[in-house]
Chain A
C-alpha cells in the first residue's frame, strides 16, 4: 500500500514472515518514501518490529525463520544474490530500543564503522565524527570529551550517540525500533526533534508503542494487527478520522 505516488525508497510486496511455524507477517505491503517519516504502530505482537527488521535483513540472524514476498530498495530486490548484506545494512541503518554503544570512547564508537570499512585517515575520521555528532544533535554536549567512555553518557545521550553512529556510514534509510522506550521525556523530545531534522536528508521508518509520538513525528502511519496491515494513511487522517474500525478502537484505547 502506498499513500504517496511516485517511486518508493523502500517497499515491501506481499511480505510474509515465519518464526518456525508461526506466521508473524501476513502479506504486508508498505511503501516508504524519501524525506518522509513513516510510523508503524500496533499492539504488542502485531509484527511491527519483525516488519522493520526485515527491511535490512536483520531477521535472518534469527534461526528457524523464513520470509516470503519481496522487499525493494530503490526498486532492487534486497534478497537478490548480488546483494552484499553488509552494504545493505550500511544503506539501511538501524537504531534500537535500548541504546547499545560499544564499550569504547565516544570517538571510537562513531569511527568504528568507518575503520572496518577501511578508512584510516585521521583527519577524515575526525570530520565524519564531528559531522555525525552534529547530525545527531550531540556535538555541543560531547565535543570536549570525545575520548571518554561512551557509557559515561546519559541514556538519552547514548541513544543519540547510536544515531550518530548510524549516520557516520552515510545511510539512505534509517530504521528506528522504539528508539525512545528506554529514555526519559526530555531525551525523548530531543530524539523526536532529531527525527524531524533527519527527515530532510533521509528516509525514516519508526516503530513506536507511543501513539502520540507517531502523531508528532510521522508523515504517514501504518497500523498493524496480528501480522496484518490494517490501515496505512496520512498520519493526520489516521489520528483524526481513521477509516478502519480497528484502527479507531486501537488509537482511542478501546483495546490493545
Chain B
C-alpha cells in the first residue's frame, strides 16, 4: 500500500506546465504593453496585439485538457480542486492578456498626439501588477497559500495607485481641456492595470481554495473604494 506515481500525475503536470506557459506570456504582455506606452514605441504595441493569439489558444487548450481529465479520470479531492482551479486561472490569465491588448490599443491612440506627461506611476503600477501575476502563479505551482494571500493583500496598493493616477490626470483636464482625450486614455490604462491586479487577486483566491479547500472569495478586505474610482465604470470589482 505504498504511495504511487500515477499516469494521471503526468497529465496533471502537463496541465500545470501549460498554465505556467500561459502565465509567463500574460506577464510578458503586460510589461511589453506598458513599455511601449512609456517609451512611445509603436512596434511594441503592435507586438502585443500579435502575441495575444497564442494566449487565447492556450486558454482553449487548458479548458479542453481540464474537461477531458474531469470526464475521463473523475478526479477527487486535491486533484478535483486542482483542475477546477486550473480552469478558473486559465480564464483569468486570458482576461489579463485581453487587458494588455487594451493597453496597447490605448498606446496606439496616444501615439497620434504628443506626450502629455512623462509616465511614472503607470509603469510602477504595471510592475506591481506583473509581480502579482508572477507570485500568484508561483503560489499555484508550489501550493503556497501564504504567498497567494499576500498577492490578494497587495491589490489595495494597486488600487491606491490607480486613484492617485486618476486624481493627477484630473488636474490636467481641469487646467486644459485639450488634454482630455489623452488624459482619458491614460486613465483607461490605469484602470486596465487595476483590473489586471484584480485578476491576479482572483488567481490568489483560487490558489487558497485549491490548497486549503476553503473559499475566501468575496470576504477579503475590500480595497480602498472611493467615490472617484466609482465613476470610472460600473464593473469595478466582482
B81 in contact (CB, < 8 A): yes
Known contacts A253-B6, A255-B3: A239-B77 contact under CB 8 Å: yes
Provide the main secondary structure of the chain B interface: loop
Asked whether, in the complex, the Cβ of B4 is within 8 Å of the Cβ of A254, the reply is yes
Chain B residue contacts of A251, Cβ below 8 A: 76-77
How many residues from A make CB contacts under 8 Å with B? 17
Closest to B75 in A: A252
Closest to A251 in B: B76
Chain B residue contacts of A211, Cβ below 8 A: 76
Chain A residue contacts of B79, Cβ below 8 A: 252
Question: Within the complex, what minimum Cβ distance (angstroms) separates B163 from chain A?
Answer: 38
Closest to A256 in B: B1
**Which of A215, A251, A252: most chain B Cβ within 10 A?**
A252
Chain B residue contacts of A240, Cβ below 8 A: 76-77, 80-81, 213
**Which of B78, B79, B213: most chain A Cβ within 10 A?**
B78
Asked whether, in the complex, the Cβ of A253 is within 8 Å of the Cβ of B213, the reply is no
Chain A residue contacts of B3, Cβ below 8 A: 249, 254-255
Question: Within the complex, what minimum Cβ distance (angstroms) separates A83 from chain B?
Answer: 38
Which A207-256 residues sit within 8 Å CB-CB of chain B? 211-212, 215, 239-242, 247-249, 251-256
Chain A residue contacts of B4, Cβ below 8 A: 253-255
Residue from A212, A252, A255 within 8 A of B77 (CB atoms): A252
| Cβ-Cβ contact count across A and B, 8 Å cutoff | 39
A43 in contact (CB, < 8 A): yes
Question: Within the complex, what minimum Cβ distance (angstroms) separates A188 from chain B?
Answer: 15
Question: Within the complex, what minimum Cβ distance (angstroms) separates A105 from chain B?
Answer: 40
Residue from A212, A248, A256 within 8 A of B78 (CB atoms): A248
Chain A residue contacts of B8, Cβ below 8 A: 253
Chain B residue contacts of A212, Cβ below 8 A: 74
B2 in contact (CB, < 8 A): yes
Asked whether, in the complex, the Cβ of A254 is within 8 Å of the Cβ of B6, the reply is yes
Which B54-100 residues sit within 8 Å CB-CB of chain A? 74-81
**Interchain CA distance A252-B79 in the complex, whole Å:** 7
Closest to A242 in B: B77
Closest to A239 in B: B76
**Interchain CA distance A247-B74 in the complex, whole Å:** 16
Closest to B73 in A: A253
Closest to B9 in A: A254
Query: Would you list the 9 A-B pairs with minimal beta carbon distance, nearest first?
Result: A241-B213, A251-B76, A255-B1, A252-B79, A239-B76, A248-B77, A252-B77, A254-B3, A252-B76
Contacts from B to A (Cβ < 8 Å): 1-4, 6, 8, 74-81, 213-214
Given contacts A215-B76, A239-B80, A240-B81, 17 further A-B contacts (CB under 8 A): A43-B1, A212-B74, A239-B76, A240-B77, A240-B213, A241-B214, A242-B77, A247-B77, A248-B78, A249-B3, A251-B77, A252-B75, A252-B77, A252-B79, A253-B6, A253-B8, A254-B3
Contacts from A to B (Cβ < 8 Å): 43, 211-212, 215, 239-242, 247-249, 251-256
